[in-house]
Structure 1
Amino acid sequence: MTLILDILVGENVLNPMTKYVNGGTNSINRKSKTLVFHILVLVAHFLPVNLLSSSDKLSRAVNYLSRYGYIPPVFTDSTASNQLTKEIVSQGLWDLQDFFGLNRTGILDDATLRLMATPRCGLPDKVYRRSNRRKRYTLMGSKWTHSNITYFIRNYSENIGQHMDKKRVKSDIRMALDVWSKHSPLTFTGIKSESADIIILWGKRRHGDKQPFDGPGGTLAHAYTPGPGIGGDTHFDDDETWTAGVDHGTNLLQAATHELGHALGLGHSRLTKAVMAPTYKGYEADLALDEDDIRGITYLYKFMTINTKAHGSKHPTRNTMNELCHLDEKIDTMFTDAYLNTYVFVDSKFWEITEEGISSGYPKSISSRWPRAPSNIDAALNYNKHTYFFKASSRLSFNGSKYWRYNKHTLIADYPKSISKGFAGVPDNIDAAFMWKGKIHFFKGKNYYKYTTDLARANKVVGKPISKWRGVPNDITAAFQDKKNKYFILKKGKYYKLRSETKEVDTRAKPPYPRPFKDWWLNCGKPPIGLNVFL
C-alpha cells in the first residue's frame, strides 16, 4: 500500500497542484487506484490532524471537500473519483478558502487544515456542479408552504441526565424554534406523532438515513430541507456531549438553532458571526440571530399569506422601497472608490450601496459630492486612488468624450479633458470601465480595450471581442469591483459575477447568473449577501 500511496499523492502532498491522480502513466489500473484512494480517505478521516502524515492530510482534505460540496462526491460517484484531478482539488481548496475568508491559495496550508478540523454542521456549504450532468440532489432551495409547522422529538440522547435532562432538551428545542418564529410568519407546535413536519432525533454513525455521523467531533448534526418524508427532519450526533449553559461540550441550543434554520430552508452563510455559519463557534451565553440570518428567513417567507401569528400580531409586509428599486434598469454606471465605498449613478443622482442594501439618506445629487461632475455618467473608475468619470459629448458636439478626475472629492485643475488626450487609443462613448489585474479595461458595444500606459503602444490599442470574456454580454451598463475584490458586470437590471482568476462568468453559482440586481444588491426584497438561500 505504501507504493500505491506514493503514486497516488506524488511528492509534494501539501500542494494539490502535484499530480496525485495520474490518468494512466503508471501500471496500476484506474479501478485499483480508486479503491485504494477510498480506503486511504476512510482511514485518514478518523485520525487526529496532528497524527496524520502528509498524504493522510491530503486524503482527509479530499474527503472534506467532497463531503461539503467543493469537489465531486468521491464516495458515491465512481466516475467523479476517476476524473479527480489536481486542478479540481486545487479549485475546491480555493473555493473553500474563499467561502471562509481565508487566504485564497488553492493549497492545503495550515490555516485550511485547522478549519477542516473544526466541529461543524454536516450539510454541504454548496452543491458541486458539473456542466454535463444534472445535479444529484438538492439540500436547500425549498420552503414550507404552510405557516404552522409541527415537530416531534422522537428520542433523546443516550447520555440524557448526565449534562441536561429531557425537560431542558424540550426547552432548548422550543427556544431554537422561537428564535426563527420571531422574524417570520411561522409558528411551531409540538406533537407526539410521526406525521410531524419536523422529526428531531439523536443517533450514532449509521442512523437510518444516507448521511452517517462520524463519531465525536467533526460533524455535530444535520438537517433536511423542507418537504415530505425526511424533509425538515433534524438529526443530532449522539457521540457528542450535548450540554446547556456551560462552556464545555456542544451547546444544544446553538446547534439546534442552526440546524432548524436548515429545516426551514436556509443554507450556510459566509459570515462567521451568523448563526447559519457552517462551523461551531463554542458556547455563547446570549444567542441571537445575526442581521444576515434575519434577512434570510425574512426573504424566504416574506410572501407567505397569513393574517396573524400565534400571539395575534400582524405579520409585516414588504418594507417601503427606495426609488432606486424602480430605476434598476436605468442605472448609468457604478463603481467602488479608493475608500471601498460602492456607488450607483442614475441621471443626476447617486446612491451608496452596502452589504445591507441602500444606505439611508440617499439619493443625493452627484454634484454635492463631486463638484462640476456631469449627469448621465457613462463610466466611473477608481484608478491610482483617483476617481474618474467618463461622459460622451452631445450629438451636436464634435469634441469627443471627456473625463473628469477627482482627488477624493476635489476636481483636479484643468479637468475635464478629452479622453483621446488622457487615454490615447481608447474610443469615445464607452459603456463601462474597471480595473482587471492591475490594468484598465474599457468596454464599448461588442468590444473591450485593454489600456496601456506605454505611450509607444498607446495608439495601437485595438478592440477585442467581448466574447473573450465568456458569458459577458455586449453593450454592458457597468463593470466594477467590490470591496472584497470580486468582479461584476451589470446590464439592464441584471448582474453577472466574474471568476477572479479567468475572464468568464461564474457558471457554478446557484442560482445562476445573471441575477436581478435590485433583489441581491439593493435590498428590494433581496436575499442576504452572506447567506446561500438557494444552493
Structure 2
Amino acid sequence: MMWLLLLLVLLCVKTSVSSPVAEGFLERYGYLHEENETHSAAEVKSAIREFQWLSHLPITGRLDSATLQKMTSPRCGVKDARSQSAWSQRVNSIFTGYMGRRGRHLRKKRYIRSGEKWYKRHLTYRIINWPRNLSPSQVRFAVHIAFKLWSNVSGLDFQEDSHGPTDIRLAFFEGEHNDGTGNAFDGPGGALAHAFFPFRGEAHFDMAERWTLTGLKGHNLFLVTAHEIGHTLGLVHSPVRHALMSPYYKKMGHSALLSWDDITAIQQLYGKPSGDAFKQLAGRTLNWAIKEWEISEEPKGGFHTPHYCQGSFDAITTDESGAVLVFQGRLFWTVSNGSVSAPLPLQTRWPKLPLAIEGAVFSPLDNKFYFFKGRRMWRYSGSDLDPGFPRKNSESSLPKHPDCAFFYRPLGHMVVFKGSRYFVLNLKTLNAELYYPRSLRDWKGIPRGVNGALTRPDGKLYFFKEQQYWRFDPGKVRITTTGLWGERLQWIGCHRTPSLQGNELL
C-alpha cells in the first residue's frame, strides 16, 4: 500500500497527473491553490520536508516508508503550511528579541496573517450538536474543560452561550460538509477534526469517530477539542514533541497538558492571566476531575439512565451469579433482573486494576475474572489479584490492545478478538491453542472492532460495537438478530419502564 502511495505521488510530479493522495498532501502544505495546477519536484520535496519536521522524522525530502506510514496516522486536519516559519519567529522572539526605544521587549506574534487573532478577551462559544456515543452533558463537560485549559494560562476567558450569535462554534459532521473536498471527513482514522482561525471561529469533528473521555477504544474528545480551540484562537501547529498543538493529538498522561511552546504561543497573542490566576492543568488532575464528575452526574434514587446508555461502554461480561457487568472508564455497573446499580469505581471491587479496561471476562471454568488493558492481563479470584498477575499478553501469545474477550462454552476456552483475527486461550495452561489466530470470517457477520461480548443463559452470544449489537447462534454459526442494544435489550439496564414489548429478555 505504501509503495502504491509513493508511485501515485511520483506520477503526479513527473507527469502532472492528478492524484488524490498527492493533492491532499500538497493542499495540506499550501502548494495546491487552483484546479489542475501542476507541482514541481522542488515543491513536493519542500512539502515533504516540512511534514517530516513536524512529525519528528529524519528530514530527507523523500517519501520513505516511515513518512508514508506517518501520513496515514490519525491527526488534525488543519493545514501545516507556514508552521515552520511561525515557530522560528516565536523562538526568535524569546531568545533574540530586540529592545524598543523605551526599553520594551518587542515580540513577534504567532498567527498566520495580520489580523488573525481576536481583538477582545471575552469570547463566547456554542456546541451545535453531539456525537452518537457521548451524552450532551459529557460533551459539554469536555468542551468546558478544554476552554478552561487555555483561559488558565492566558488573558482570555470563555462563556458558553446557547442563544444568539457566538464567536466560536463546535459541530460534528460526516463526510463532505460544505467546507470543500479537502476538508471532507474520511470516517474512522485519518483527520479527526479541523478548525478555522479567527474570525470564522469554527471547529468541526468527524461524527464517524468513536469519541471518549476516559477509554482507550476511541479518541479523547477533550484533548482533540482543546487542540482545535487553539486553532480557533489563532495558533498553528507546533513541532515540539508532546505539545498540545502538535498535529498529532496529545495523549493523556500525568504531566502538564500544555508544553512551554503552547503557553508561549497563546501568551504572545493574548498576554498572561491577571494577577496570580495562572494555573497549568495536569493530566492527573483532569483524570480525577472526570472521575468525580462522572459519579456526581449519576442521578440519586429511583430509576436512572447510566452514562453508558447514552453512548458506549469499554467492556461487558457477567459475574458468578449471572448479573451483567458493564464497564466504562473508571466505573462499572451491575445489572440484575433489569435493575441497574449505582456506578462504582473499578478499584473498589478489583484493587490494582487499571482504569478504562479493554476487555473483561468471567470464566465459569475456574470462577475467575480476567481483564485486559494494553499489553497485560489481570486475573482475580473474587477481589484478590492472583499471584503472578498482571502478566504480559505476549507470554500467552495474545495481542496487545485486544478489541474484546469472552468465554466461549462450545470450546471451553476464552476467545480474544483483535482486528481481523481471533485467538483462543486455554485457561488451564494460559497458552494460546494451536492453529490460532484465525480469520474473523469464521464468525460470519461479526464486524471488526467489537468492544464487548458475552453469553446469555440461552447459550446465545451477544457482540457489541458502539450502539449496535449482534446475536450469534453457536449452533447455526450465524447472526440471528441485530439492532440497537439500548432500545431492545432490557437486561442491559437502559429501560425506564418494565414493559418488555419489542425487547429481548435473554
Q: Which has the larger radius of gyration?
A: 1
**TM bucket, shorter chain:** 0.3 to 0.5
Q: TM-score, normalised by structure 2?
A: 0.45
Q: TM-score, normalised by structure 1?
A: 0.42
Say which structure is richer in strand: 2
